[in-house]
Amino acid sequence: MQNTDLLLVNPNNRSQTYSGPGYFLPAIEPPLWTGLIAGFMRAKGFSVKIIDAEAENLNPDVTAEKIAEFNPLLVGISLIGANPSASSTPKMTAASKVLNNLKNKTPGIKTFFYGIHPSALPERTLKEEPLDFICRGECFYTVFELLTILKSHKKTADYKIKGLCYKNNGNVIVNGWGKLVDNLDLLPFAAWDLLPMNKYRAHNWHCFGNIDRRKPYAAIYTSLGCPFDCTYCNIHALYNGKPGIRFRSPDKVAEEISLLVENYRIRNIKIIDEIFTLREAYVAELCDLIVKRRYDLNMWAYARIDTVNEKMLKKMKRAGINWLCYGIESFDRKVRDNVGKGSFEESAVRKVVEMTRSAGINIIGNFMFGLPEDSLETMQETLRMAKELDLEYVNFYVTMAYPGSQLYEAALKKGSRLPEKWCGYSQLSKETFPLATNYLSGTDILRFRDKAFKEYYANARYLKIIKEKFGSDTVKHINKMLKRGIPRKLF
């Protein structure tokens, strides 16, 4: 007898994503997409459960045992995280282990993958994994129609459902893309009550000055999609393969924030949108609603150099947005133009950094080493400028040709060497294998990245600024972070 209609699983890939000591650094983020699908299906009348194996730190074998205990009609395994563009493909190793363990224990349970990686590579994924289905793209309606058929016990080998991919007599059937949700306010809130809310914690930098207050933590969205088309990003594989964006109403977002604060004592919040600052009027209305509630929030969001102004920044600060993440990527205009990343000049970066800091908002800068036109000189210039800006925190990424991105398709056509294993797409693992540029090898780029990380955070001027702003405990935390070494196979 079926105990659960739908069981959604967030697999645990901590050991693959973070090599070496120091798992105290990254966030443990709630699987928002999993919570959204659970909330949607529950509202449709199905019984739903969630296993967040990452938050619970469960290995694949234990995860499979727990799945079997629920005896679900259908199991969905997530391949998307709270950093959608970079957290899908690296999870394939963990998802595959859970799937294979489950099929060995209870081969009769129907399974599907969802997220960016299987949406980008449905045929390959179905051929390589003992999988029943892939629900491609946003997949709310796809999962609903599939579960409706399975629950009716209707026998069929031909599922005519948009967005559903499966095998029929050895052939892979790909039914295009699923239907997008036109009105996001019709989506129920994420099923927060099905998640282990006491397990989640914010990023270390998010709580500089209060480094021991990283819990509790949550992530919300105000929009889905992205109107831009950067060649290195694969986010569009969640949204039918093309740019576009839809917004929730500010009232709905504010209502969900109230639920998180009042029911789960949440203070630390990530706004998960690809870009939060696209519409000034929207940001202003939402911030006003939050200010009226007088919550003591510590939030952060993604922004672009060309989408903020002084008035908007001040309003965000009043609402509790204490950090903004700018995707600067490179300080070389030619390097950025080659991947479709903005037309802003260096002077615009300096101006926005100054405006943001004047508003009282801290800055985390995202930079990429190894974009196709990067050379040792352009990467060195990016590092020099990042240090000169005195940003409160930086992420130094190596460029990956993630499946679903234009860069991936270009790499295949060019015959570029890609990671042999999916875990090679992780940024901070032993297996990390960056894409070579037109001038540098992947090994050169990774070595530069790791050296740049230490050089930035060990900088005496940077540590002095951090001590003055956040206190000596935060400096101690950074020094502890610097002691963490990452073993790299490429070295």
Provide the pLDDT for residue 23: 57
Spans of all domains in the chain: 4-137+139-174, 199-399+434-482
DSSP of 286-299: HHHHHHHHT---EE
How high is the pLDDT of residue 14?
Answer: 79
Q: What is the CATH number of domain 199-399+434-482?
A: 3.80.30.20
- Report the candidate in 224, 266, 230, 278 with the shortest Cα–Cα distance to residue 247: 224
Tokens read off for 239:
């949204």
Helices and strands per DSSP (H, E), number in the chain: 18, 15
DSSP 8-state secondary structure symbol assigned to residue 189: P
User: Tell me, what's the pLDDT at 153?
Assistant: 85
CATH number of the 4-137+139-174 domain: 3.40.50.280
Give the residue among 251, 103, 245, 139 at the shortest CA–CA distance from 185.
251
Distance CA 41, CA 191 (A): 10
- 181 burial level (CB within 10 Å; 0-12, 13-18, 19+): middle
Q: Tokens 């801290």 identify what position?
A: 362
Amino acid 431 reads E
Integer angstrom CA distances of residue 123 from 102, 183, 415: 21, 30, 20
115: left (phi over 0), alpha (psi -120 to 50) or beta: left
pLDDT averaged over consecutive 10-residue blocks of the chain (491 residues)?
Answer: 88 70 75 97 98 96 95 96 76 96 95 97 97 97 97 85 94 95 97 98 96 96 95 93 96 98 98 96 98 97 96 98 96 91 85 97 97 97 96 97 96 96 93 96 97 97 97 96 90 89
The Cα-based distances of 332 to 310, 388, 441 in angstroms read 25, 15, 19
